[in-house]
Structure 1
């Protein structure tokens, strides 16, 4: 038994010389000493390297899309986009249904007018003393002074506020609030990866790109010189120049960029070139 093992070991360790010669001059160009054991080892190492290289090539390159069972990245993006658009359509359909249900009683005539007219109800026993309605001279001058100072500024400010109605981009808890002293001109909202991020108002996409620090970034220009910025997104569904409606899905929550600490939305709101606290304009509850 020992002799068989020694013979097998000798066969495996016997050296063989591989020589490459020039066919015409028989000049030695290359030579290599090998044994059967070395040949097996080299073959095994080469096979492992080929397997590892092939696995990495399939796992981290677009070649995996040609293998059955793997879906393409473009197909995944289209599926995510269609899912978010379907969510937006469901919301709009629900709003339209509520509006139609509110109009049905009016169109069918189910709503009855008031039985008593308030004008006819006034009788001679209920008469106003017009003398009490006349303001005094001092009161009139005071009212005119106040109206001349405050009437138009108040009306202008009221009209501007009435024209601005912002939609919450995403619901969630705050991990960091607006802090102008520490130059954190935004609020960080925690949400699950893939959660739909919606436009806060009608606007135009002015930025839709990738940055090393903040990952996928998208920014919208709104009326009254408002600009909204959404950072650390997982996917961007709108391109620069696209017009979006209020509540329309523009991206999804992610954790991209070097400065991210987890899945969240970094949201900024700017007005006339200054950062403003989004919680003063938007109800995130």
Structure 2
């Protein structure tokens, strides 16, 4: 066949007349000469141009971000940012773990290790070396191992030699401390001048074992706490709890009002708070912040 595929292959470079005829007029209205080779080259050129346009649009425009389910440039940026954030969190966790391990060593009386985490997991681990304690380390250890306000050793030794666990107490009233703990003067608690009329709250949860007026201490409440602790609240202007009542930390147990004198043994309006551990008086200011 003259116009078959075999003919076109045999005459691949030979020009052929391609025309457009008007069917009604039966005449040729347009024509051109083209070879099969040029036709193939033209099609390949068009495809190459279309490929270049598509690649340029994908690389330099956010067209992929508009296609649902396709990871575009914005999605890749978010993914990279999340990977960096996760890596930073992992590094921070390693630093916190090293800090916790060093604090544990300090509490055990040992020297902390100088093993700061590295940024890369594939970095060869260096041998841990002991470092001499600095002045700041020694000061921190003294504060943690002492018996002051910031001590982490949660126990105290009474004069009888018994070990009593250290508990946390809150201030029953707020005011100025005018009398401090001094057993030599028979002052077994702390004297406070309250900042105006206010409520008296329980320093720690417990059970009321005494609630009455006495000639020496006026309106007094005594609360039994855990671990053999007793707290006394003396010279209240009014009592709200009775013997046997269970109270929680910070619960109102009475009122105090400066200027109201309940007896003549203490200055006007002075409130006395005492704390006893295992049957022995303890300095309340070692357990409570009053101001």
- Scaled by the length of structure 1, what TM-score is found? 0.47
Which structure carries more helix by proportion? 1
What's the TM-score once normalised by structure 2's chain length? 0.47
